[in-house]
Structure 1
Amino acid sequence: MGENEGRRDLRMPDDDEVFAEVTNMLGANRVRVRCADGVERTARIPGRMQKRIWIREGDIVLVEPWDWQDEKADVTWRYEKSEADQLREEGHIR
C-alpha cells in the first residue's frame, strides 16, 4: 500500500484557468463561483456540458475568466467529490 495508492492524475488548470467553487445556481445555465484568486464571478455553463454534467452548489470546477470582462467566466471542467477531496489534500485548493 503506497501513499499514492488512491491518487488519480487530475486535470490541472491551464494558464488561463482557475479553480473555483460554485456558490449559487443562477438559472439560465449560469452559476456564481468564488475563484481561487479571490474574485466572485458569474460563470456560464457551455452547451457541451449542460446535458452531460450536472453542476451543483459546492462543486469544485475549473473556470476560464473572460479576457474582456473579468467578472465573468466559462466553466471548463467539473471535479467529482473524490477528486475535489484529493485537490484539497494536495493543497491546490482550500
Structure 2
Amino acid sequence: MSDSGSRKSLRMPDDDEVFAIVTNMLGANRVSVRCMDGKERTARIPGRMQKRIWIREDDVVLVEPWDWQDEKADIAWRYSKQDADQLRREGHIQSG
C-alpha cells in the first residue's frame, strides 16, 4: 500500500521548538519529556491546553525550552497517534 497519498502536512518545530516524547506524568500540569536533542526536561502544560487536550505518557509533543532554564519547557503542541506514527516513519522522532 502506497503511503504517499495519505501524507498530511504536519506542524513542524519552529526555531526554538523541539520534538519530545512524554515519559512521565508529574501532576500539577507538569510532565517529564525526553526531547530529541537528547535532554530530559520538565514540561509545563499551558492553561489553554489543560482542559481541551489530554496529554498522556508516550504522546509525541512539541516543546519550547525555556531560555533561562534549559531543563524546563512549555508544551506547544500535541500530535495525534496517526501524526506521531507519520513523524516516526519520516525519521523526525527516534523511539526508545
TM-score normalised by length of structure 2: 0.95
Deviation at 1:25, TM superposition (A): 0.1
Matched ranges for 1:14-93 at <5 A: 14-93=14-93
**Counterparts of 1:67 and 1:21, CA distance in 2:** 20
Query: Deviations for 1:10-56, whole angstroms, at most 9, x for unmatched residues?
Result: 00000000000000000000000000000000000000000000000
Residue segments in structure 1 that go unaligned for 5+ positions in a row: none
Matched residue SS, 2:86:
helix
The residue type paired with residue 79 of structure 1 is Y
> Superposition RMSD on alpha carbons, in Å?
1.1
Query: Deviations for 1:43-75, whole angstroms, at most 9, x for unmatched residues?
Result: 000000000000000000000000000000000
TM-score normalised by length of structure 1: 0.97
The residue type paired with residue 88 of structure 1 is R
The residue type paired with residue 71 of structure 1 is E
Deviation at 1:4, TM superposition (A): 1.4
Query: Among the aligned pairs, what percent are the same residue?
Result: 79
**Counterparts of 2:62 and 2:80, CA distance in 1:** 12
